[in-house]
A and B are shown apart, each in its own frame.
Chain A
């Protein structure tokens, strides 16, 4: 099946630093989404992107839908302790009845 390559797999940063992660695919997607999973809980949707080139913000989070439709980026500015968790990208192509998820990026923050 389709695969998404998400990087980095893990990040260890200091509180207050900015964070960048990305997701690439060998195939085109019409929709890109970013989810966050807090420890012991299910993933929660952070941002959804529906148009190539789209740049969307949600508070300190900013995500972009790549022009080629094969990649997406998520940036977190001025990280805080509650940003800890696993971040997943997900893609959906037209006609597909499911989302394809990346492997996840585990974010750890040192206070």
Chain B
């Protein structure tokens, strides 16, 4: 089954304790991206990756890191989480096009993070 898998689905942590949210896709997609969803703000892009070893900042990259060592995996790293990073996070993937993403994103089920 084609899917994007995120872990953990739920996490409560404390300020400053480093954490990683993993993301894996089995569709051989070149393009992967992380979004955060906050009430009234929709989905905002954090980072994206056009292919292995190619990553770039989205609209809200502060406080986050990513890596793309393998095509299928795109982990999101919070080196020193703060309460304003409490949010619902989504990983997504797609085929690439001349513009980057084909636009037809496949999303994971989401990871709800609470930073105390």
Q: Give A contacts to B, CB under 8 Å.
A: 1, 4, 6, 9, 30-31, 33, 35, 40-45, 48, 88, 90, 92, 94-99, 101-104
Contact = CB atoms under 8 A, between A and B. Distances in A.
Contact of A41 (B45, B56, B109): B109
A99 B105 contact: yes
Contact of B42 (A30, A44, A94, A101): A101
A98 B42 contact: no
A48 B108 CA distance: 19
A6 B42 contact: yes
Specify the main secondary structure of chain B where it touches its partner: strand
Contact of A48 (B42, B43, B90, B104): B104
20 contacts: A1-B59, A9-B40, A41-B110, A42-B92, A44-B107, A45-B105, A90-B103, A92-B99, A92-B101, A96-B99, A97-B48, A97-B100, A98-B45, A98-B58, A99-B103, A101-B35, A103-B40, A103-B41, A103-B42, A104-B42
B107 A43 contact: yes
A33 B104 contact: yes
B70 to A, nearest CB: 20
Given A1-B59, A43-B90, A43-B107, A96 B43 contact: no
B108 A96 contact: no
A6 B107 CA distance: 21
